[in-house]
């Protein structure tokens, strides 16, 4: 039995490495993806291009604008003087935020009245707009607190006491860098994509060229054939996990605080689900195009509904239920837990059990369907 599986494996590897396109898919694609997610895809909001529409031009208004600039989040690039100019800047997306201070801003503050600052943001990108508004609120809050404190000091002759100060600290990802969130996630999505595609392609190609029928008249058993068609891609999946981990840790300095062996063990559980889905797709596909389409039909919803980019907690309840059927969801919790939190099986066991159960169920279903398609 092992002899035959070994020979299937060797044949599969010869075929994969003989095809330059395949080599690209297996090694280049993960590297490109991890570079894209490490460098380009970032939800950090910095250097917001800003215009200051200061009709007051007083000491106070200039100081407030300077505070925005000093925060590091805002780059003041324009000083428009009319509403039309502001409109134009926003229309052409030259600025994402406008600070608008009316005439009398400084005088109001001097006189102890409440002064108004208007912040206009480009709400097209709702995510960024929300973050920009948060930053603004924080800066304005600090500024107004400072004015209050100075005023109190003047009145009381000493600084006021009491009150609450906020001290925040992010655990696990101290600087809230999005690459620390995404790079481990890339492991999960890439391994799914590659193993899913390679398995379906490898099986359906044999159907297409007619070798499947030829193989079926040999004494090879169904189990041997399935193992011979999945083990090579499981090995490639592991190779990709190592490749992405190495790039993530040594190039992007993503922390890896947990146990690497646990990562590999969980990868094995996860591979059972992705290879199982791959086999299942290959039983219903007759051509490689069909297999490709079906794979993507599974892959895109799986990625979108996994928590890779969008938090599952924000999804409608019904959709949240569906995500429980998504193996990617569990594996993402595991990889992020191992990379960033350094937690072990005592925390991650529910996810691991979920993957194991799903993996066994899918493989069982796939091999059952597989048998049917042959006869």
Partner 1 sequence: MMQPAIASENLSKSFGPVAAVDGLTLSVDHGEIFGLVGPDGAGKTTTMRLLTSIMDPDSGQARVCGRDTVSEAEAVKERIGYMSQRFGLYPDLSVMENMEFYADIYGVPRKGRAEKIERLLSFSNLTPFKKRHAGNLSGGMKQKLGLACALIHTPEVLFLDEPTNGVDPASRRDFWRILYQLLKEKVTIFVSTAYLDEAERCNRIGLMHEGRLMALGTPGQVKKLMRGSIVEVRAARPRQAKEILKKSLPDAEVGLFGDRVHVVTDTPENTEAETIRILSKAGVEVSGARLIEPSLEDVFVSVLGKDGGRRE
Stretch that binds partner 1, among 4-12, 30-38, 116-124, 262-270 (CB under 8 A): 4-12
Residue 361 within binding range of partner 1, rule CB under 8 A: no
353 vs 235, 279, 334, 356, CA distance in Å? 22, 21, 11, 5
Closest distance to partner 1 from the beta carbon of 375 (Å): 5
Smallest distance from partner 1 to CB 132, Å: 54
For every residue of the chain, which 3-state class applies, written as one string? Answer: CHHHHHHHHHHHHHHHHHCHHHHHHHHHHHHHHHHHHHHHCCCCCCCEEEEEEECCCCHHHHHHHHHHHHCCCEEEEECCCCHHHHHHHHHCCCCCEEEEECCCHHHHHHCCCCCCEEEEECCCCHHHHHHHHHHHHHHHHHHHHHHHHHHHHHHHCCCCCCCCCCCCCCCCCCCCCHHHHHHHHHHHHHHHHHHHHHHHHHHHHHHHHCHHHHHHCCCCCHHHHHHHHHHHHHHHHHHHHHHHHHHHHHHCCCCCCCCHHHHHHHHHHHHHHHHHHHHHHHHHCCCHHHHHHHHHHHHHHHHHCCCCCCCHHHCCHHHHHHHCCCHHHHHHHHHHHHHHHCCCHHHHHHHHHHHHHHHHHHHHHHHHHHHHHHC
Nearer to partner 1, 19 or 145 (CB): 19
Minimum CB distance to partner 1, residue 292 (Å) = 19
Residue 165 engages partner 1 in binding (rule: CB under 8 A):
no
Site size for partner 1 (CB under 8 A) = 23
Report in angstroms how near the CB of residue 230 gets to partner 1 at its nearest.
17
149 lines the binding site for partner 1 (CB under 8 A): no
Residue 11 interacts with partner 1 (CB under 8 A): yes or no: yes
**Restricting to residues 215-274, which ones interact with partner 1 according to CB under 8 A?**
215-221
* Beta carbon nearer to partner 1, 209 or 325: 209
User: Nearest approach, Cβ of 202 to partner 1 (angstroms)?
Assistant: 11
Considering the complex, state which of residue 15 and residue 124 has its C-beta at the smaller distance from partner 1: 15
- First-last CA distance in the chain: 22
For residues 186 to 225, the per-residue mask of contacts with partner 1, x marking binding by CB under 8 A and - elsewhere, is -----------------------xxx-xxxxxxxxx----
Segment contacting partner 1 (CB under 8 A): 12-20, 25-33, 291-299, 338-346? 12-20
Out of 114, 127, 168, 375, name the contact with partner 1 by CB under 8 A. 375
Pick 140 or 215: Cβ nearer partner 1: 215
Phi, psi (degrees; rounded to nearest 5) at 182:
-85, -40
19 touching partner 1, by CB under 8 A: yes
Q: Is 2 an interacting residue with respect to partner 1 (CB under 8 A)?
A: no
4 binds partner 1 (CB under 8 A): yes
The answer to whether residue 286 forms part of the interface with partner 1 (CB under 8 A) is no
- Could you tell me the smallest distance in angstroms from the CB atom of residue 232 to partner 1? 14
Comparing CB distances to partner 1, the nearer of 5 and 52 is: 5
- Please report, as ranges, the residues that interact with partner 1 according to CB under 8 A: 3-4, 7-8, 11, 14-15, 18-19, 209-211, 213-221, 374-375
């Amino acid at each position: 039995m092992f002899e035959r599986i070994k020979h299937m494996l060797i044949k599969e590897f010869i075929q994969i490495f003989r095809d330059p396109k395949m080599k690209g898919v297996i090694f280049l694609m993960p590297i490109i993806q991890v570079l894209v997610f490490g460098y380009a895809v970032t939800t950090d909001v910095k250097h917001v291009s800003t215009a200051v529409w200061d009709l007051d031009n007083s000491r106070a208004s200039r100081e407030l604008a300077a505070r925005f600039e000093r925060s590091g989040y805002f780059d003041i690039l324009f000083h428009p003087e009319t509403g039309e100019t502001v409109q134009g800047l926003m229309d052409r997306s030259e600025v994402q935020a406008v600070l608008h201070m009316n005439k009398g801003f400084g005088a109001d503050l001097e006189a102890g009245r409440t002064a108004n600052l208007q912040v206009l943001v480009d709400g097209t990108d709702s995510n960024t707009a929300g973050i920009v508004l948060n930053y603004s609120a924080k800066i304005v809050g600090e500024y107004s607190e400072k004015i209050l404190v100075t005023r109190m000091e003047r009145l009381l002759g000493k600084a006021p006491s009491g009150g609450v100060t906020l001290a925040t600290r992010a655990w696990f990802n101290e600087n809230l860098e999005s690459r620390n969130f995404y790079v481990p996630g890339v492991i999960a999505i890439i391994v799914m994509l590659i193993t899913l595609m390679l398995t379906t392609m490898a099986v359906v190609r044999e159907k297409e060229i007619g070798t499947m029928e030829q193989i079926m008249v040999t004494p090879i058993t169904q189990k041997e054939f399935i193992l011979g068609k999945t083990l090579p891609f499981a090995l490639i999946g592991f190779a990709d996990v190592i490749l992405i981990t190495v790039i993530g840790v040594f190039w992007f300095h993503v922390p890896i605080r947990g146990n690497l062996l646990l990562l590999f063990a969980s990868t094995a559980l996860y591979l059972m689900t992705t290879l199982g889905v791959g086999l299942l797709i290959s039983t219903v596909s007759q051509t490689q195009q069909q297999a490709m389409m079906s794979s993507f039909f599974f892959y895109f919803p799986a990625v979108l509904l996994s928590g890779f980019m969008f938090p599952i907690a924000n999804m409608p309840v019904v959709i949240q239920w569906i995500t429980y059927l998504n193996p990617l969801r569990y594996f993402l919790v595991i990889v992020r837990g191992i990379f960033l939190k350094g937690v072990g099986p005592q925390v991650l066991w529910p996810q691991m059990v979920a993957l194991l159960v799903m993996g066994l169920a899918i493989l069982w279903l796939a091999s059952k369907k597989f048998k049917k398609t042959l006869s």
